[in-house]
Amino acid sequence: MTIRHSVDMAICLIALAIFGAMPVARGAEVGKIQLLKTGDGVAFSILGEKPAAPAPTLFIFALDAERTLNSSLYRQAGNILSERGYLCVSLDLPCHGVQRRNGEAAELKGWRQRIDAGENIMDEFAGRAKKVLDYLVAEKYTDPDKVAAGGTSRGAFSACHFAMVDPRIKCVAAYIPATDLGAITEFKGANAKLLKSLSLANNADRLADRGIWIGIGDQDFRASTDSAIEFARKLSAAAAAKKVPRNIELRVSSIDGHKTPIGAAEQSADWIQAILKTK
């Protein structure tokens, strides 16, 4: 039996659901990945061919673009939505793929190096993502009124930062999200002021008018379940303060470790379609 609640009715109504430990692996055969570039040289990837008409679009973030779109584990809602006519798009995260600079550590260790140097890693990333969306709209790949973003762990963190700077992102699906880098091992002792400025909870007012779906286990000590719950609370409070509709879904499942709950992909896919009115 599953017990489900929504944060929409109160600041902290938490869903404790008995799901499992891994996402459903759907959509294994979803089309060829194409590597493209914007007119000013920003690289990105799409799943499949250019749509016949501007399509609802889901940005998906996890690692580098190719690994993200090649993995049903990271595609999450994209597994389902690609079968329903959505265009799926991805970019390399900072320090991943071609975004790793010469002499720089890879992935989260590279993030740490940049943060120690005082660099706001999300400013650069969100700027690239915005240019890709501009290109997709101009070239008639994407319906600008039907755009969502999603991501897993650090990808969810990145998706939220993208949404902060681009109001065309109507909603974000955040799977086992890193919401506060300061709670993650790699960033212990890092630039506290910069980490605070990047925290999703501290930027909740910038997302108050968007839909945010969060799925995480109740014992996720890697991304921090407590930080994800705090983010949801701050989102709810910010929406109430701005007197805008609260569209927050927080699902905390009985799972040990940093694992996406089974059922999260299907639930979030239906939720994204409801937000974008593509059903």
Domains of the chain: 7-276 (3.40.50.1820)
Alpha-carbon gap, residue 144 to 33, rounded angstroms: 22
> And the tokens for 225?
């379940």
Average pLDDT in the 35-46 region? 97
Tell me how far CA of residue 224 lies from CA of 13, 49, 90, 106, in angstroms: 18, 37, 25, 22
Task: State the DSSP H helix or E strand holding residue 114, giving kind and residue range, or none if neither.
Answer: helix 107-116
Alpha-carbon gap, residue 132 to 89, rounded angstroms: 9
162 forms bridges with which residues in the sheet? none
Give residue 25's pLDDT. 41
Give residue 175's pLDDT. 98
Alpha-carbon gap, residue 44 to 61, rounded angstroms: 11
pLDDT band with cut points at 50, 70 and 90 for residue 11: very low
Average pLDDT in the 9-22 region? 34
Alpha-carbon gap, residue 243 to 90, rounded angstroms: 33
Q: What 8-state DSSP symbol labels residue 183?
A: G
pLDDT for 178-192, tens place per residue?
999 999 999 999 999
Average pLDDT in the 76-91 region? 98
pLDDT for 189-231, tens place per residue?
999 999 999 999 999 999 999 999 999 999 999 999 999 999 9
CB 91, CB 167: distance < 8 Å:
no
pLDDT at 30 over 70: no
> And the tokens for 216?
């995480």
Alpha-carbon gap, residue 187 to 69, rounded angstroms: 27
Measured on CA atoms in the order 219, 221, 222, 228, is the torsion positive or negative? positive
pLDDT band with cut points at 50, 70 and 90 for residue 261: very high
Give residue 31's pLDDT. 74
Give residue 192's pLDDT. 96
Average pLDDT in the 45-67 region? 97
Alpha-carbon gap, residue 117 to 18, rounded angstroms: 43
